[in-house]
Structure 1
Amino acid sequence: MTTPPHEPTVRPDPPEPADPADSATGAGPAVADPHRLSRRSIASLVGFFLAIALGALSVMVGLPYVIMKPGPITNTLGKLSGQQLITVSGAPTYPTQGALDFTTVRIAGGPGYKVTVWDLLAAAIRPSEDIVDEELYFPKGVTGKQVEEESAAEMIDSQQEAVAVALKAVGQKVTEHVVIAQVAKDAPSASLLRAGDEIVSVDGKAVSDSSGVRDGVGAHRAGETVALGLVRDGKPVTVEAKTRAADGRATVGVFLGVRFEFPIDVKINAGDVGGPSAGTMFSLAVYDTLTPGPLTGGQQIAGTGTINAKGQVGPIGGIRQKLVGAHDGGAKWFLAPADNCDEVVGHVPDGLRVVRIATFDEARTAVEAIADQRTDSLPTCTR
């Protein structure tokens, strides 16, 4: 904002000083300089400008925290940005009703988006928000783009696991392949192993899942070599990989992943949402799409939880924010991972009922019971 031009101000001459003789003898009163500020006025003025400076710094300086806030919910049975969230081809599909909402958490802060002291003060008085150390979500040395890429990769993996669980539940055959997702830079045999390699055997024994690989490698002592049978670019390869100690057992320094072969094509469009926590709700939605009759009976049911190919539901972060988001989005029911129950108790919004789940079968049974209004015996986080 600018101020309008003003006329020049004419400053009057200062008053004449007191007679020196009077000042020296104290015979006459001293004349105060009207242009000189008192010590109290100077202190007040300095304090005022310090307050302005501190206020400006409090807005400009970012602090090493992030704020977790309730995010929006999305119906996995509906559309997102005008496109059906789940589409299936290669198998019969059936109409659905109601909602199976996945829930989200909004994160304020992180690289390039620092929070200020005012943001923290506001979050501290809001029961639905939590303040956590920035490094829990954005480790040092990791850029915001890298975090987004990792989150997107987790979302893709969770979708594949969810599809695998749902297809198995409807009797479809799902083939799993154990692959090397990433090779640690300091792995003893990093030059011999590649991301994307499929592991088909350990010491000549066929393996079909990650547990088989870990058990086979873990049977060695650190420093020994293990024969890994791989498929690389469609060709069989055997690698003698050296092991090292990690968490009290032998490993080869790789991160394992799973690649699935599905008999039908299932696509999930989750927009720009990342992370693995929507897996359980995706699996229920795919199952509902592939089975006759609406699974929800028209009810709006929200929930969260990771899921693996064995149908086990895992804990997630931000459960308190997701409960609030589900309530604000109109859901009356919420499926919560059993391992999150300690965080659920005492934080359930009025009007929202929480059901405890630990597996896909338990989640499906709960939804069916809600649809049939058989809810008295559903497990909760308090019993």
Structure 2
Amino acid sequence: MSARARALAVCTALVLALLVTAALAPLPYSVAYPGMTANVLGTDKGKPVITVTGAPARRTSGQLRMTSIVATGPDASVHLPDIIQGWLRTDEAVMPKEAVYPVGNNTEEIAEHNAAQMRESQDTATDAALGHLGKSPKDVKVTLSLADVGGPSAGLMFALGIVDKLNGDGTGHDLTGGRTIAGTGTITASGTVGAVGGVALKTQAAHRDGATVFLVPRKECADAHAELPPGMRLIPVSTLDGAVTALKALRTGGAVPSC
């Protein structure tokens, strides 16, 4: 074998070794998938998601579904083939691990953090909804119960559910108009809706569970369009007031904002 052939063989072996190492080495990414959805106007594990005391609660029709994603855990090993598959599939997304798990180094810490965020989200959703309706937390108490879900991204849907339970659209009709409406978004006590991430996967979860309308934080319209299921209508929202107005217009055939 000539010196040139030997050098080529060595280089080829090195390249192959690097490729094998890259394929087998764990990488700092998570693979996410469409997660569960839940109707905040309904029940969860036999208990109402929204319970109101101090004011009469309406009987509602239709559904307001919060949405979620699931991702490989913080301790899971994600390799190059997993990432390539995630890039090629429309029902998967490859995300930096720190974007999925910004706090905590293990499952227990992350679960505790997500549970705390969910509790805070429920409190701010209640404040936003009661503020929208001009009601005082001293007079109306709202209890929210949704098991096995963490994070702040259900805030908007919780707030809309409370508004629908207490007031509907203000004219005796439901905010949903009898539809199955899904959505996502954080919310502040003053009613500002914030971005959450993973909306392309959440629209797929919503479509899977029967929704035809999806409320999306306005800043994430482009992301929501990326893998939008057929027949799914996007409505961008920036505030709780705006979301309520849009749903009223949707029911009555008025002008509804679009992405």
TM-score (norm 2): 0.84
- The Cα of 1:139 is off from its aligned counterpart by 4.9
Judge conservation of contact 2:103–2:113 (CA < 8 Å) in 1: no
2:135 is aligned with 1:172: yes
Judge conservation of contact 1:333–1:354 (CA < 8 Å) in 2: yes
For residues 179-258 of structure 1, the aligned pairs below 5 Å read none
- The correspondence for 1:335, drawn from 208, 215, 221, is 215
**2:153 corresponds to which letter in structure 1?**
S
- Distance between the aligned counterparts of 1:138 and 1:294, measured in 2? 37
- Distance between the aligned counterparts of 1:138 and 1:165, measured in 2? 27
Number of residue pairs the alignment of both structures matches: 238
2:46 is aligned with 1:82: yes
Say which SS state the counterpart of residue 320 (structure 1) adopts.
helix
Identity of aligned residues (%): 38
- The Cα of 1:319 is off from its aligned counterpart by 1.0
Judge conservation of contact 1:69–1:106 (CA < 8 Å) in 2: yes
2:113 is aligned with 1:150: yes
- The correspondence for 2:166, drawn from 279, 283, 290, is 290
- Distance between the aligned counterparts of 2:175 and 2:229, measured in 1? 25
**1:266 corresponds to which letter in structure 2?**
V
Alpha-carbon distance change, 350 to 297 in structure 1, aligned in 2, over 3 angstroms: same
**1:378 corresponds to which letter in structure 2?**
V
- 1:338-371 CA-partner distances (Å, limit 9, x unpaired): 1112322343221100011111011111122222
2:223 is aligned with 1:378: no
For residues 91-110 of structure 1, the aligned pairs below 5 Å read 91-110=55-74
**1:86 corresponds to which letter in structure 2?**
I
Say which SS state the counterpart of residue 173 (structure 1) adopts.
coil
**2:136 corresponds to which letter in structure 1?**
K
Point out 4+ residue stretches in structure 1 off by more than 4 angstroms.
none
**1:366 corresponds to which letter in structure 2?**
A
**2:158 corresponds to which letter in structure 1?**
F
Alpha-carbon distance change, 140 to 362 in structure 1, aligned in 2, over 3 angstroms: closer
**2:65 corresponds to which letter in structure 1?**
D
- Distance between the aligned counterparts of 1:120 and 1:109, measured in 2? 15
- The correspondence for 1:159, drawn from 122, 130, 151, is 122
Q: CA RMSD in A?
A: 2.3
**1:301 corresponds to which letter in structure 2?**
I
- The Cα of 1:264 is off from its aligned counterpart by 2.1
Which has more helix, going by share of residues? 2
**2:49 corresponds to which letter in structure 1?**
L
The residue aligned with 1:251 is none
The residue aligned with 1:64 is 28
TM-score (norm 1): 0.58
- The Cα of 1:117 is off from its aligned counterpart by 4.0
**1:303 corresponds to which letter in structure 2?**
G
- The Cα of 1:145 is off from its aligned counterpart by 1.5
- The Cα of 1:169 is off from its aligned counterpart by 2.1
- The Cα of 1:281 is off from its aligned counterpart by 0.5
- The Cα of 1:146 is off from its aligned counterpart by 1.4
Say which SS state the counterpart of residue 91 (structure 1) adopts.
coil
The residue aligned with 1:317 is 197
Deviates more, 1:291-300 or 1:351-360: 291-300
Alpha-carbon distance change, 141 to 335 in structure 1, aligned in 2, over 3 angstroms: closer
The residue aligned with 1:349 is 229
Alpha-carbon distance change, 356 to 298 in structure 1, aligned in 2, over 3 angstroms: same
Judge conservation of contact 1:65–1:134 (CA < 8 Å) in 2: yes
The residue aligned with 2:150 is 274
Judge conservation of contact 2:73–2:107 (CA < 8 Å) in 1: no
Judge conservation of contact 1:138–1:144 (CA < 8 Å) in 2: no
